[in-house]
Structure 1
Amino acid sequence: MTKPYLAHIRRNSSGIEQTIYAHLHRVADLMSASAAKMGLSSTARLIGILHDLGKCSEAFADYLSWSHAHPGDYSRRGTVDHSSAGGQLLMQRYGGKSDDKQLVIEIAALAIFSHHTGLLNYIGEHGLMNASGREDAYTFSRRMDKADILTGVNLGYFFENIISEEELDNLFAEAVHELSALEEQIQKQKSDEEYFFYWGMVVKILFSMLVDADRLDSAEFELDDSLTCAWDTESLWEEFSAKLEKKIVGFPISREEKAKKIATLRQRISDDCLHAAEQTPGIYRLTVPTGGGKTLASMRFALAHAKRRHKKRIIVVIPYTSIIDQNAKEIREIFDRDEAILEHHSNVVSEEDNGEDTECMDWRRILTERWDVPVIFTTQMQFLNTLFSGGNSSIRRLHALQDSILIFDEIQTLPVKCTYLFNLAINFLKDFCRTTTVLCTATQPPLEQLDFPIGAGKNAELTTDISETFEAFRRVHIENCCRDGGSSVEDIAAAICRSAEEEGDVLCIVNLTKQARELYQAVSEIAQDSDIEIRTVHLSTKMCPAHRKKVLAEVREELRCRKEHPERRLICISTQLVEAGVDVSFPVVYRALAGFSSIAQAAGRCNRHGELAQGIVRIFAFTDENLSRLEDIQAGQKIARVLLFEKEADVLLSPQVMDEYFRKFYKEQIESRMRYPLHDGNTLLDLLSVNRAGVGVCNQRGDKLNTGFAHAFHDAGRAFEVIDSHAEAVLVPYGAGKELLLAFDAKSEDKRLFYRNMKRAQQYMVNLFSYEIKRFSGMGAVWRTESGVIALREEYYDKALGVQFEEQQNAYCMI
């Protein structure tokens, strides 16, 4: 009997072997099950059974034996190409016969070619050549035409021991039938861009299934343990619903008339959401005034809808890490099932492995990528990375979105450049992956009115009587304090201090971290000379999360004690990080001029629970404010300035005026800005659909195009970033960050300890831009620890301001 070819040898001293038969069939089974509801089970099984065909070779067997004998030595990694053979076999066996067969070959082969590198291009942005004019290594044709791949593969062994030729032919025929049926649905799209974008999403989701199944099986073999959990979601949704209903019933009823009215309105909104859960899966809007209780109302809808429509998970997408802890903590306390809730918002441990072999990766880290739990809280950045970022770790999560309910909190914070990509992706998930989406905000952008509209139905609103609800929630009086030419930092600081002395605690929100720092320092100086006790605090993204949490906790405690200590005052100077969803309530709020949605969110931090008859929100403008690096805020500010001149400030929170603001905002956008423009004049939407740029270059050169698709997945993935930050996380010497600095600076081979420390370290990290790090390096203020983590020296971190450095911009951005 021929010795079986192996897929893996366990890295510990046992040397236990996994056959290629066991690996390929396990991956094929996992993929087939995952793709069944999309009607692509045979296509997925075909990809799974062929993805590691190249391991049926003496060359790979020799490499595997050598690697096991030399643990930790990766010098021969990549010397044996085992991920090209499966795609080449498809072309050799079935190519050139018909368009429907070619469709299967191109989709399956690209997934197989890419499963260690990240998705390749069909055609690159620069055609079949890269920017330097050389043949692009990251293209479909380069891998398909790679020489001497199949010659070393033992196809006789494969067909005799893995799958027979007849079984493979039948599987391929079934895949042809599946993709032909899918083509009938996708061809209904209105434009070429939508048509090819949808096919790109099909490729991505099949690729996601392959990456996940491959890594899961490899991890389970290495750890000798099953790492999947069969959640009984039907029972779980019942349990969570009962606990949420108990929580809602138990809310205390205020005796104060205004607060009692707000509590009644919150209950009505919540009841509307519960009743709307009976509707069919689709895209819905939850338009609720700030302070309207949308966190629990949207969860109430999601749980009832999940029960009714048998959904697998609920994913809550929140714009900023600063409010994930708050929202997730509230839900955790209600559900009381920690193992069923995942918070995924780490930006410390790099997720992108850039094709790193799973043999070299930390297995526990691999398992955190799966999103295989019923309730997930994540950031807008993580969600968009799942859809559009390069590498394999982010896209691995994509297929987990099937049969999910997606709740987007503060949807108006979606970056303008991502608008069309987001709309098309959400439409695809609705049409082909059975997702239900809820877009939550007090300030709904008109995403359904754009050239590539989001597919919300006619009855998309989850609540009724929106205008009346907003009027009933009116808790603030808005004053337009903008002067011609703007106001100086000193003038604004003086006005804030007067308000604190005469009217109570003050929150001031500005657009730039530089403004927050200068205003804090000016207010602190003036407050020292006041006749009353005034405490001044500062919040910005130049403070690590643990520092910000501490300050926010102190702010909440100080506000809570105000009745006991009415003689004291608190002034909080902050960037936008407190604006969306942070549960604080001040009697007076100052807001630097920005878009109306930002002003509305700021107003949501004023008299939030109706404690007063009326709160006060004052809008002001800085002299010579430089927003050139924040295009979305700059555009919103320009429109807000015009509308404030035309209208009374007090009406700007109404749905009618907000709708007018957004219509003007999107009308004034250069159309390409919503397509995700790139520096070379191309757009990401083009690269992920028709790729006119790449096709045009090929036509000019006379290059032969041998695929029906032109997607430049690799180029698009490398170019995509939610925030144009080019930032890197730096560990700061705040709190436990000091001891972590010492731990990272000590040499250690314990990878598990390293990743545990990295998880802890996310609370003590600050993202700094590349130019800031370069300047810090020149000053000797940062160094790279033995573990590779960049660290900041103690004298450069201030207990009030965070990183001691003159910075230019704030990463949080809201239109």
Structure 2
Amino acid sequence: MFLAHIREIDHAKQTVQEHLEEVSLLARAYGEPSGIGAHAELAGFLHDLGKFTEAFTIYLTNAVFHHDVATKKIDHSTAGAKYLYEQFYDGDGMQKLVVETVGMAILSHHSGLQNFAQLDFEMSDYVRRVKKDLPYYDEVIANFEAIKGNKERVQRLIDEATKECRIFFEKISAKEHMSVYFSYLQKLVFSCLIDADRTNTRCFEENQPPVISDYTQVFSDGYRQLMKQVEGWKENKEPINQLRTKMSENCDLLAGNPSAIYTLSIPTGGGKTFASLRYALKHAKEYKKSRIIYVVPYTTILEQNAQAVREIIRQQEAILEHHANVIDDEKLDTEEDFYGIPHHKKMQLGRDNWDYPIIFTTMVQFLDAFFQKGTRKSRRLHNLTNSVVIFDEVQAVPYKHFSLFNTALNFLHYIGNSSLVLCTATQPTVGAMKYAIELQEYAEMVPQLTNVVKAFERVTVHNHVTAEGYDAGELAMFMQNIMEQRYSVLVILNTKTAVRKLYEELAKTVECKVYHLSTSMCPAHRSEILKEINQQLGKEPIICVSSQLIEAGVDISFEVVVRSLAGLDSIAQAAGRCNRHKEREKGDVYIVRAKDENLRNLPEIAVGGEVTANYILRDERYAADILSPSAIYHYFRHYDNHVKMKIKLTPDKLKYELINLLEVGIQSSMRENASYALFKTLEQYFQAIESNTKVAIVPFGKGKEIITELNEKLTDITTFNHLLKTAQQFSVNLYEYQFRLLSQQGLLKPLYHESLYYLDDKAYSTAFGVSIEGEEKMEDYSAY
């Protein structure tokens, strides 16, 4: 009896054959919606072929029963790929592609995807692995083929997967960038395998059967609850509410159409969350979609919109908020095995694969599912298929990643059978880029958009941009003058350093209540501050100084907004926090230039500001309405032309743009200078945001309890998963320089076997969040 796993709690045993069969069936279910069920099943059936040896069973038994982990690991992840190559690589071109695609998923399932080629034309990772001599290989094959039906099943799956491959190429034959589509297909097979393997192992450890989720009833019940509220809207005869209802009804009508890629350009305050949810629930219900996923740029939008959706559908447990990875993912992905290391095993098997009906996550997490290195984030990718994916504030995608983002969306729709909605009041020109999103005709969900925008006009924009700009003292004086006439002002600046300087200046000079907001605060802290501000608005004078996190999606309304010069899209979003509910005829938005902002490391903001100043504010055509659809369209056309000269699309030490690593041709890779996807290289250089971050749990509110519990010895995976999920609300992202400074000052401490981190009380302020001595001397890498 060859063993794959031994359960930690009761020492129950799972054989290799049982594990392979169970993983293959799960993987097939994950791959079916995208037409790669046989690919995924074949990968699952052969992924742990190398465990069919007496040596591995002894190795596993010693590790579990005697805590004797051999220093020399047994390579069990290459045998399946080698077997496919040796038995089936003599077929036609399509069969060769199947052997390579499935084989690469198998040999990468502990380390992350490898390269089919090398930039220096050395032997590729794939060729090296499938050709190397493996100890015990003959024993592995003999033991595997001795089990009745195994060999025949592999042949059947090879034949079926080859047919799938032909169908795939028929689908993309008329499309540009065919090889990019195929590269994503390889990553998708990998995702199906990783998640099936981790899920089966977790279910075995928890002694629970795996379940293929069906959330149709959740969507049906949610839609019914939403429609009850729509009926209430119809009774409100105010023109704005009637217009909101009309846009919502148009989304409902389009939900009856087959899967598509839509743009939803509802103006700020137009009920975008409600309308997009109405489309998503009805479409998911009628077309049997697996889940609904909201992708947002900032966690503040995530928190608020998730709560709004909970209130609409009245199903609290149906929604997952996925902010960030509390666990040090990179450390986990470097471990080949976890036998005898129970805390690492718990973390690798964590339930973070997005298997929920409705998910709210960030753009960083979405991009990481496709392009981040390792295995942990890749396992979520297949759950983006056969789904409704709504991108809120899509203009916030980092410009240098638009090629990757646009092609990923094309793949999710045309191959992954997903319906996609690009939501924003300021649509970027994604259909006109070099790697464009393939929008169909009449993709806009809002009819007569220009008239709709005019009807939602609620502010007057004032241009106070000067060449010199205002320092913190001058801005504070500007605020004081406004507060002589008004009761509430929101100031949005481009860097956290500038925000803090102005906050400190206002705290010294004004008598009213001053609030500070930035992502130096954990989500729970920011939510508490926003709740307090909303309660006090209209009751007492208030000034709020914030980074950009507040300007998109946050349901809050000030009499006046002051916005530091930035892209027109950012100014439009900031204007949405002014007179949001039309409390008065017109609110006032002032555009200024802030002296204290160092934008050297924020080129997109710098370019956006200069394009706004030079091409929009100075253009007489837009003098009366700089936020019109026409102005926004022309802003993005100018921005696209200028940003190319300022944004470095080629990473340091690499001669190619990242998208080029996925577009080097669809050929047989068994030549040493293969022309094929270089996922390992892409993942090595990919960063969703410019500077790497690590997550730390902070001692704010319940965060203190979480830190205490994680310091204790946890044996239950379910409890551990719950703690990690809750910890997201009490965590912050630290940039490398912050991590270094905090460590040097003894304020950042390891937790749970050095796989997590937490902040000392001295490093977290109720006013600013993360507070580090010496931080003001460092460069400001983040606007958010």
Mark yes or no: TM-score above 0.5.
yes
Secondary structure of the residue aligned to 1:506 is strand
* Whole-Å separation in 2 of the counterparts to 1:236 and 1:552: 30
Match of 1:163 among 134, 149, 157: 149
Deviation at 1:79, TM superposition (A): 1.4
Aligned partner of 2:2 in structure 1 is: 5
Aligned partner of 1:377 in structure 2 is: 360
Match of 2:571 among 594, 599, 608: 599
TM alignment of 1:580-729, pairs within 5 A: 580-623=552-595, 625-642=597-614, 643-647=616-620, 648-670=622-644, 673=647, 677-690=651-664, 705-706=671-672, 709-729=675-695
Aligned partner of 1:108 in structure 2 is: 102
Deviation at 1:43, TM superposition (A): 2.7
Residue 578 of structure 1 aligns with an amino acid whose one-letter code is I
TM alignment of 1:158-237, pairs within 5 A: 158-161=144-147, 163-190=149-176, 194-228=177-211, 230-233=213-216, 235-237=217-219
Return 179-188 or 268-277, whichever deviates more: 179-188
CA contact 1:636–1:665 (8 Å) conserved in 2? yes
Residue 248 of structure 1 aligns with an amino acid whose one-letter code is V
Secondary structure of the residue aligned to 2:617 is helix
* Whole-Å separation in 1 of the counterparts to 2:152 and 2:768: 69
TM alignment of 1:460-539, pairs within 5 A: 460-528=443-511, 534-539=512-517
Q: Which runs of 5+ in 2 are unaligned?
A: none
* Whole-Å separation in 1 of the counterparts to 2:195 and 2:673: 26
Secondary structure of the residue aligned to 1:452 is coil
Aligned partner of 1:337 in structure 2 is: 315
* Whole-Å separation in 2 of the counterparts to 1:214 and 1:88: 19
Return 734-743 or 588-597, whichever deviates more: 734-743
Deviation at 1:709, TM superposition (A): 4.7
Match of 1:238 among 208, 220, 223: 220
CA contact 1:316–1:376 (8 Å) conserved in 2? yes
CA contact 1:408–1:440 (8 Å) conserved in 2? yes
Secondary structure of the residue aligned to 1:729 is strand
* Whole-Å separation in 1 of the counterparts to 2:649 and 2:136: 41
Match of 1:449 among 412, 420, 432: 432
* Whole-Å separation in 2 of the counterparts to 1:728 and 1:645: 42
Secondary structure of the residue aligned to 1:670 is helix
Match of 1:250 among 221, 232, 249: 232
Aligned residues: CA RMSD? 2.6
1:811 aligned onto 2:782 = yes
Scaled by the length of structure 2, the TM-score of the pair is 0.92
CA contact 1:262–1:610 (8 Å) conserved in 2? no
Secondary structure of the residue aligned to 1:7 is strand
CA contact 2:556–2:577 (8 Å) conserved in 1? yes
What's the CA shift string for 1:661-720, capped at 9, x where partnerless?
00111122328959564443322112233189xx9xxxxxxx983485522212222322
Deviation at 1:262, TM superposition (A): 2.1
CA contact 1:420–1:675 (8 Å) conserved in 2? no
Residue 7 of structure 1 aligns with an amino acid whose one-letter code is A
* Whole-Å separation in 1 of the counterparts to 2:92 and 2:328: 43
Return 235-244 or 573-582, whichever deviates more: 235-244
Structure 1 residues 473 and 424: alpha-carbon distance in aligned structure 2, compared to 1, 3 A threshold: same
* Whole-Å separation in 1 of the counterparts to 2:646 and 2:466: 34
Deviation at 1:311, TM superposition (A): 1.5
* Whole-Å separation in 2 of the counterparts to 1:325 and 1:802: 18
What's the CA shift string for 1:144-175, capped at 9, x where partnerless?
12213464434233223153544433332332
Aligned partner of 1:84 in structure 2 is: 78
* Whole-Å separation in 2 of the counterparts to 1:209 and 1:783: 35
* Whole-Å separation in 2 of the counterparts to 1:330 and 1:611: 21
Match of 2:413 among 430, 437, 450: 430
Aligned partner of 1:801 in structure 2 is: 768
CA contact 2:234–2:242 (8 Å) conserved in 1? no
* Whole-Å separation in 1 of the counterparts to 2:747 and 2:40: 51
Deviation at 1:608, TM superposition (A): 0.2
Deviation at 1:762, TM superposition (A): 3.1
* Whole-Å separation in 1 of the counterparts to 2:333 and 2:294: 27
CA contact 2:604–2:647 (8 Å) conserved in 1? no
1:117 aligned onto 2:111 = yes
Return 303-312 or 670-679, whichever deviates more: 670-679
* Whole-Å separation in 2 of the counterparts to 1:679 and 1:707: 20
Residue 39 of structure 2 aligns with an amino acid whose one-letter code is T
CA contact 1:355–1:392 (8 Å) conserved in 2? no
1:553 aligned onto 2:531 = yes
* Whole-Å separation in 2 of the counterparts to 1:721 and 1:514: 23
Structure 1 residues 676 and 296: alpha-carbon distance in aligned structure 2, compared to 1, 3 A threshold: farther
Secondary structure of the residue aligned to 1:612 is coil
CA contact 1:782–1:792 (8 Å) conserved in 2? yes
Structure 1 residues 680 and 329: alpha-carbon distance in aligned structure 2, compared to 1, 3 A threshold: same
What's the CA shift string for 1:300-355, capped at 9, x where partnerless?
01112223322221111111111212111111122222332222223322345315
Count of aligned pairs: 770
CA contact 1:253–1:263 (8 Å) conserved in 2? no
* Whole-Å separation in 1 of the counterparts to 2:137 and 2:325: 44
CA contact 1:501–1:569 (8 Å) conserved in 2? no
Secondary structure of the residue aligned to 2:147 is helix
Deviation at 1:179, TM superposition (A): 1.5
1:35 aligned onto 2:35 = no
Secondary structure of the residue aligned to 1:317 is strand
Aligned partner of 2:249 in structure 1 is: 271
What's the CA shift string for 1:548-596, capped at 9, x where partnerless?
121111100001xx2xx4xx31000111010110010001110000000
Aligned partner of 1:368 in structure 2 is: 351
* Whole-Å separation in 2 of the counterparts to 1:523 and 1:263: 38
Secondary structure of the residue aligned to 2:558 is coil
Structure 1 residues 754 and 240: alpha-carbon distance in aligned structure 2, compared to 1, 3 A threshold: closer
Residue 681 of structure 2 aligns with an amino acid whose one-letter code is D
CA contact 2:698–2:730 (8 Å) conserved in 1? yes
Aligned partner of 1:531 in structure 2 is: none
CA contact 2:79–2:134 (8 Å) conserved in 1? no
Deviation at 1:69, TM superposition (A): 2.0
Secondary structure of the residue aligned to 1:735 is coil
CA contact 2:497–2:597 (8 Å) conserved in 1? no
* Whole-Å separation in 2 of the counterparts to 1:635 and 1:25: 54
* Whole-Å separation in 2 of the counterparts to 1:342 and 1:755: 13
* Whole-Å separation in 2 of the counterparts to 1:672 and 1:395: 31
Structure 1 residues 649 and 348: alpha-carbon distance in aligned structure 2, compared to 1, 3 A threshold: farther
What's the CA shift string for 1:720-750, capped at 9, x where partnerless?
2211222222344433444555556x56465
Return 284-293 or 314-323, whichever deviates more: 314-323
CA contact 2:494–2:597 (8 Å) conserved in 1? no
Residue 775 of structure 1 aligns with an amino acid whose one-letter code is L
Deviation at 1:616, TM superposition (A): 0.2
Secondary structure of the residue aligned to 1:681 is coil
1:354 aligned onto 2:333 = yes
Return 336-345 or 433-442, whichever deviates more: 336-345
Structure 1 residues 150 and 459: alpha-carbon distance in aligned structure 2, compared to 1, 3 A threshold: farther
Deviation at 1:205, TM superposition (A): 0.9
What's the CA shift string for 1:108-130, capped at 9, x where partnerless?
1111111111111112344437x
* Whole-Å separation in 2 of the counterparts to 1:570 and 1:254: 31
Aligned partner of 1:132 in structure 2 is: none
What's the CA shift string for 1:504-563, capped at 9, x where partnerless?
2100000011111111111222213xxxxx11111112222222121111100001xx2x
Aligned partner of 1:133 in structure 2 is: none
CA contact 1:505–1:588 (8 Å) conserved in 2? yes
Deviation at 1:449, TM superposition (A): 0.6
Q: Which runs of 5+ in 1 are unaligned?
A: 130-135, 529-533, 696-702
